A and B are shown apart, each in its own frame.
Chain A
Amino acid sequence: MTRTDPSPAGTPAASPTMAARAVDLVKTYGKGDATVRALDGVNVAFEPGRFTAVMGPSGSGKSTLMHCMAGLDTATSGRTYVGELEIGQLDDNALTQLRRDRVGFVFQSFNLVPTLTAEENITLPADLAGKPVDRAWFDYLVDALHIRDRLSHRPTELSGGQQQRTACARALIGRPQLIFADEPTGNLDSNSSAEVLGFLKESVRKLGQSVVMVTHDPRGAAFADRVVFLADGKVVDELLAPTPDTVLEHMRQFGA
């Protein structure tokens, strides 16, 4: 199942400095005639300290790519790395620890545990690891995200934007190597979206954080430093320093 021809864009340099990369990544679902190739030999690398957006039409495999690279799903073949660690060989406990200690997540919805307060949700990864929370870092995050006055509230008492900002704080609390954001603003109005995306962008600028965001919103993608385009399970194009217009233009080429 190995495919050797490299994709035209996002060719991974075998650089040790990459935050995460995928080599010849294939993911198929089903068997026989019903086989669906969600990822069809993807080679991509995400640089550290950069904000990368992954775009593509529905069914292009962008979510699958993120799941495989974050250790949430296992690839059919190929290799995935977080830093220099190949995660395809890891067992469940090691993968869980990887997610807990080295990766941060922001999902589209259901980001927070309903029984816990906002503060408890933010410190959840540290609590799960049984590690002390860096209080100064915590204070910086809640202030930067303007959620200090909501800390003792439960998720149901928070607005959609507040929930996503709390999720951002949780993703960053452990100073992960990489943050995966899966349509983080999919359920938000434009003001709230801008606030969340602005924060992610700032975390890259100011703190050197690495962020990979899956999105189908061109305006959202424009917050990124680089946009990788996926179609039919392959990386088909990429764009540096995007604007909403250039993103839209590129997307039109793939009929998205």
Chain B
Amino acid sequence: MWNVTIKGLLAHKLRLFLTGIAIVLGVTFVSGTFVLTDTLHNTFTSLFGNVYQSVDFQVRGAPAFAGNTGANAARKPVPQSLAATVGRVPGVAFAHGVVQGYAQFVAPDGKAVSTGGAPTLGVSFDPNTRLSSLRIVRGTAPTTAHQVAMDEATAQKYHFHLGQSVEVLLSGPTERFTICAFVRFGTADNLAGATLAAFSLPTAQRVLGEVGQYNAIDVLTQPGADKATVQRAIAAVLPRGVQVVTGQTVANQATSAINQALGFFSTALLVFAFIALFVGAFTIFNTFSIIVGQRTRELALLRIVGASRRQVFRAVLGEAFLLGLAASLTGLGLGVLTALGLRALLKGFGISLPSGPLVFAPRTVIVSLLVGVGVTVVSAVSPARRAVRIPPVAAIAEVQAEVGVSSRRRVTVGTVVAAVGVVALAVGLSKPAIQFVGVGAVAIFVGVAMLAPLVARPLSSALGRPLAAAFGISGRLGRENSMRSPRRTAQTASALMVGLAVVSTMTVFFSSVSKSATASVDDTIDGNFIITSSSNGAGAFSNSVGATAARIPGVSAVNTVYTGQFQAEGGVQGLTAIATRNLAQTVILRVESGSGAPALASGDLLVDDTTARNNHLSVGSTIPVKFAQTGDTTMRVGGIFKTNSLLGSYLVGDGFFLAHFDNPLPVAVVLQTTTGSGAAAKAAVEAGLRAYPNLKIQTRAEFIKTQQQQVNQLLGLVLVLLLLAILIALIGIVNTLLLSVFERTHEIGLLRAVGMVRRQVRAMIRAESVIIAVFGAIVGIVVGTLLGVAFAHSLAQQGISDIGVPVGLLVLFLVIAGFLGLGAAWWPARRAARLDVLAAIASD
């Protein structure tokens, strides 16, 4: 029987190739993601290992919040005097302070060096080469108050040279420095897009805002000293709230912080890989169903000559297994190439990553093969069971090939599966539990695919009518063909249905986010101008911007907005601070109970209604909170405001905030002007803030547009990642059409014999393809839109207040699907038209 399986595979190379391609592409995506993220993981691990290998210990503030103790934990700085204390501990060779903060270069053209979201780091330069993570490539270490060392990548990008004067934006006023050195961070050839400015230690303390204090103290032990003993001795001299950890711990924490981000990135990519494979599963299922139908005679003959049901089952599954294996191995190989491609793609979206050797982990091989072979075999189980039900007599008598599950049973099962999906989805969205959401979505898709044959016939008929009217007999025959087997039409369309459902879900979701963002701005900001950092996401700029802006003629009110973290209601929470002066002129607060501005001015906490409801808070409630710098305290809830994504859940006045945070950087400044928001007013604001080239100055309308653009960019990335799933769905249509053409050889031959020209044959196949594609698109877009609305609705508490269904865009998808259907028909139509008429009618 094994022989039959292999012969069966080899006899249909084309069919094999097309079916395999769906798996190859999916597995390529999976393995490519693994290779890419493993490679990045390895790069960062070795980078941090490198950097911290020479540091024996680090003395630093203990994590302020129990909920966050890693590399990104909020920590209090340590007093400068502690370095001397630690330095005197027996066994310690050196103890040097480290300072870190915000510093952004200004390029020669006067614009801030932008990083596309990566941090702009300012650090202290440690002259002790054993302690420093920075390596000087050229030049000498910064020693004076006017020198700065620049990272090599920035220097090369902007053609800076040693001795050149450069402006640096700081949390305080902008300053000018002389470039004294180009440096590298450890062995990395780039900083994943970040920039780095290194100053002498005292200069760093001054400009990075830690006068008299260090962020941490790096410690080197004397050769031969027992490290455990030294660590205990250091711990003994430390004040409360300061800890000593090994360099390895610091490296591990830095690595794990990166890995967390990488893990998110890898999960996101894998989700798209699995969507592609899921779509591929429909394609495989459909192909195997048709193949079993076409091989009815052959399989029945096997039964006649003595093959058992089990053997037939194994023969079909064996074919799937071999196909899955071959395709997975190919996909695995292509994955390595794809990893390089993905890196390039991400770079195209402004996410540049440091280079390193490609990592090909055993896990990549195992998961890729398991997933690829698994999906193929599982998809073939149902067709294999159908093959088993073929009676031996089918070999000699003309028996109707459709021996599948009765349609009534399929409708019942489909309804149940879809219903289970809806319930799982509802549970998942309300909890929220992402696994339930995933299972629910998968079940809904499977259920809808099972039910789709019910509407395939009427829908194909309706869709085909205009085609029949426009293209005469070819259109009519194409329509008839698509209606001939509603089940096959639905199965073929199901892959595209799933693909477009996901696309529509994402589109509806993101357009809801975009619409909500607009609403948030409308709800919150009353000022004419909004000033933010020009580097997206890294949003920080000097805290002197507000005061400078206030002096601009025509500016009537200024509100500087800060954000920070504090501990409240059992976790680390985001905190927003707005100025209480001129509040009414710049910011809209929709207070639902209690008071707004007066409560903020008196140091009370404002919470949004969602948080208040979830935590049973009301005006007058007192809750314990903790700040990194000032420690535990309690706050009174002075008011409750309407949930708004721009303001966040917790709001305080600027006076209170500045008293509890050291040297915070503003994230936004809102300006109200008496001169409106026209070009002249904008020019005046820009002129007044010329000293800060890292600012993005936008009118309210521009700010809204930027917010929408960011959402659209993300949607663009998601849609690009979904293209693969769409491509696989199209391959499924090509495959089915080819099989259909093969199946209808005789019929096409007859049509040709009685006078159908090739052009008409092609038009007929194309009409069928377009009907199938548009059918799949309609069902997919309807299901996807419902899912998108459900997702967006479930996140109402997270600030998605508005549901947006972009009808125009969805209609565009439908039109595109029609054209894709046209494209998918190209090859099958060509084959049908090229059919040898004589062979077609003479076959049999």
Q: Which residues of A contact B (CB under 8 A)?
A: 63, 67, 72-73, 92-93, 96-97, 99-101, 105, 107, 109-116, 124-125, 127-130, 170
Contacts and interface: CB of A to CB of B under 8 A. Distances in A.
B613 interface: no
A156 to B, nearest CB: 10
B755 A115 contact: no
A114 B838 contact: no
Contacts of A129: 755
A73 B58 CA distance: 89
Interface string B801-844: 00000000000000000000000000000000000011001101
B484 interface: yes
B477 A72 contact: no
Nearest to A109: B844
B747 interface: yes
Q: Top 3 nearest A-B pairs by Cβ distance?
A: A100-B755, A115-B480, A127-B473
B654 to A, nearest CB: 75
Given A99-B755, A113-B477, A113-B751, A128 B484 contact: no
B748 to A, nearest CB: 9
Contacts of B481: 115
Given A109-B844, A115-B483, 13 more contacts: A67-B838, A67-B842, A72-B841, A96-B755, A96-B757, A97-B755, A99-B754, A105-B754, A111-B750, A113-B750, A113-B751, A127-B473, A128-B760
Nearest to A112: B750
Nearest to A116: B480
B841 A92 contact: no
A110 B752 contact: no
A182 B756 CA distance: 19
A110 B748 CA distance: 11
Interface string B728-764: 0000000000000000001100111111111010000
Nearest to A174: B755
Chain B residues touching A, majority SS: helix
A114 B199 CA distance: 84
Contacts of A96: 752, 755-758
Contacts of A130: 472-473
B757 A110 contact: no
Given A73-B838, A127-B472, A128-B760, A100 B477 contact: no
Given A67-B838, A72-B841, A113 B747 contact: yes
A107 B842 CA distance: 10
B755 A107 contact: no
A113 to B, nearest CB: 6
Contacts of A109: 844
Given A107-B841, A109-B844, A115-B480, A170 B746 contact: no
Contacts of A93: 757-758
Instruction: Among A100, A115, A124, find the residue whose CB has the most chain B CB atoms closer than 10 A.
Output: A115
A116 B477 contact: yes
Contact of A128 (B746, B754, B838): B754
Contact of B473 (A105, A111, A124): A124
Interface in B406-452: none
Contact of B754 (A63, A67, A125): A125
Given A67-B838, A130-B472, A110 B746 contact: yes
Contacts of A113: 477, 747, 750-751
Interface residues of B, number: 25
B841 A110 contact: yes
Contact of A72 (B756, B760, B838): B838
19 contacts: A73-B838, A93-B757, A96-B752, A96-B756, A100-B754, A105-B753, A107-B841, A110-B747, A110-B841, A113-B477, A113-B747, A114-B484, A115-B477, A124-B755, A128-B754, A128-B755, A128-B756, A129-B755, A130-B472
Contacts of A114: 484, 747
Given A115-B480, A116-B477, A116-B480, A124 B754 contact: yes
Nearest to A104: B754
Contacts of B753: 72, 99, 105, 107
Instruction: Among B472, B757, B844, find the residue whose CB has the most chain A CB atoms closer than 10 A.
Output: B757
B475 to A, nearest CB: 11
Contacts of A63: 842
A110 B757 CA distance: 19
Contacts of B747: 110, 113-114
Contacts of B844: 109-110
A96 B760 CA distance: 11
Contacts of B750: 107, 110-113
A94 to B, nearest CB: 10
Contact of B758 (A92, A112, A116, A127): A92
Interface string B755-788: 1111010000000000000000000000000000
Contacts of A92: 757-758
Nearest to B759: A93
A116 B838 CA distance: 22
A66 to B, nearest CB: 11
A76 B837 CA distance: 17
Contacts of B480: 115-116
B345 to A, nearest CB: 45
Instruction: Among B476, B752, B753, B760, find the residue whose CB has the most chain A CB atoms closer than 10 A.
Output: B753
A121 B838 CA distance: 20
Nearest to B751: A113
Contacts of B837: 72
B840 to A, nearest CB: 10
Contacts of A111: 750
B484 A115 contact: yes
Contacts of B760: 128
A97 to B, nearest CB: 7
A60 to B, nearest CB: 16
B140 to A, nearest CB: 82
Contacts of A110: 746-747, 750, 841, 844
Nearest to B760: A128
A113 B844 CA distance: 16
Contacts of A67: 838, 842
A97 B757 CA distance: 7
B473 A170 contact: no
Contacts of B476: 127
Interface string B477-510: 1001101100000000000000000000000000
A128 B751 CA distance: 9
B841 A125 contact: no
Interface in B644-661: none
A101 B755 contact: yes
A63 B483 CA distance: 35
A96 B759 CA distance: 11
Contacts of B838: 67, 72-73
A92 B758 CA distance: 8
A129 B751 CA distance: 12
A112 B476 CA distance: 15
Contacts of B752: 96
Contacts of A125: 754-755
B510 to A, nearest CB: 42
Contacts of B841: 72, 107, 110
Nearest to B746: A110
Nearest to A74: B838
A63 B741 CA distance: 25
Contacts of A100: 754-756
A51 B62 CA distance: 108
A116 B481 CA distance: 10
A181 to B, nearest CB: 13
Instruction: Among B746, B754, B841, B842, find the residue whose CB has the most chain A CB atoms closer than 10 A.
Output: B754
Contacts of B842: 63, 67
A12 B458 CA distance: 57
B469 to A, nearest CB: 13
Nearest to A72: B838
Contacts of A99: 753-755
Interface string B559-603: 000000000000000000000000000000000000000000000
A170 B754 contact: yes
